[in-house]
Amino acid sequence: MCENSSVKYRMSNNLRNVDPKELENLKTAVVRAASEMFEYGLIKSTFGVVSARIPQTEYVIITPSGFSKARLATENLCIVDLGAKVIEGKLRPSSETSMHVFIHKRLPEANAVIHTHSPVATAFAAANKEIPCVTTEQGFAFGGRVPIVTEYFCPGSRDSEKLESVVNAFRKAKAVLLKNHGVMIIGNNIEEALDNAVVVEDVATTALYAYIIGGEVKELSADEIKEIREFRLRRYGQTADELVHMGGIGH
């Protein structure tokens, strides 16, 4: 979060080696993800954050603070370094910038980080309960329970010990719950992170309905989850060769 409450527009020479077209494409992807989060009901009002690391750099694109994701445009985005310092932008970056850049810095696979307040997943966070793995979908997507971050902290915290607790939770799954707050999601790219955000709300809803209906609700065993993950790895989707053959897509 930038401490200066009147951030001026800055155009940085630090980005001169970044392909302008690639940078604009990534900004467009961030805006599209923010808009779709709003449309999917994963966020309301001005809440929620999307960030994406600019490839081969120490910089992150992030959505601005207190700005409706439904009205977001590429020119509203901010660029910060991994110390949360503003490099470029007309607006103040998200108040959660410190957490986002900490995750980008500590988890190389986290090229995209999304924060939502999706209702059912956030209800589990408010109840301080992990989302139990009761569906093959959850085993497929997250490899087990969606964990709770062990530390509670107020939005905007820069406490490295508390931020490290978020990283530790991400070592278990690509979606984690912030106590009494919301959901954090990572992905190798924006599309994967958004998909994970949609799926975590879906599996949370299924788990909640299952417990409301009652009866025996059985979590998947470690062996069952292992089998699901192996299925995903070996038999699900299309190979690169198949995609090339079908339409020249892939490498």
Q: How many CA atoms lie within 13 A of 230 on its CB side?
A: 6
Give the pair of three-digit tokens for residue 38. Answer: 């709003």
Predicted local confidence at residue 3, as pLDDT: 37
CA dist 13 → 20, 67, 101, 159, 234 (Å): 12, 26, 20, 30, 45
Per-residue pLDDT, 248:
53
Confirm if 80 and 101 have CB atoms less than 8 A apart.
Answer: yes
| Span 39-83, pLDDT tens digits | 999 999 899 999 999 999 999 999 999 998 889 999 999 999 999
Kind of pairing between the strands at 112-116 and 182-187: antiparallel
CA 149 to chain centre: 15
Question: Residue 36: what pLDDT?
Answer: 96
Question: For the residues 212-219, what does the mean pLDDT come to?
Answer: 91
Nearest CA among 121, 176, 113 for reference residue 143: 176
Query: Which pTM was predicted?
Result: 0.87
What's the rounded mean pLDDT across residues 133-139? 95
Q: How far is CA 35 from CA 23, 28, 30, 196, in A?
A: 19, 11, 9, 16
Instruction: Look at residue 16 in the predicted model and tell me its pLDDT.
Output: 77
Residue 147 per-residue DSSP state: P
* Structural domains in the chain plus CATH codes: 13-220 (3.40.225.10), 221-251 (no CATH)
Q: How confident is the model at residue 153 (pLDDT cuts 50, 70, 90)?
A: confident
Q: Tokens 């979590």: give the residue.
A: 219
Strands (E), 44-106: 49-53, 59-62, 78-81, 86-88
Question: Mean of the pLDDT values across residues 134-150?
Answer: 96
pLDDT-based confidence at 15, cuts 50/70/90? Answer: confident
> Does residue 214 surpass a pLDDT of 70?
yes
pLDDT of residue 207: 97
Q: Which helix (H) or strand (E) holds 101?
A: helix 97-106
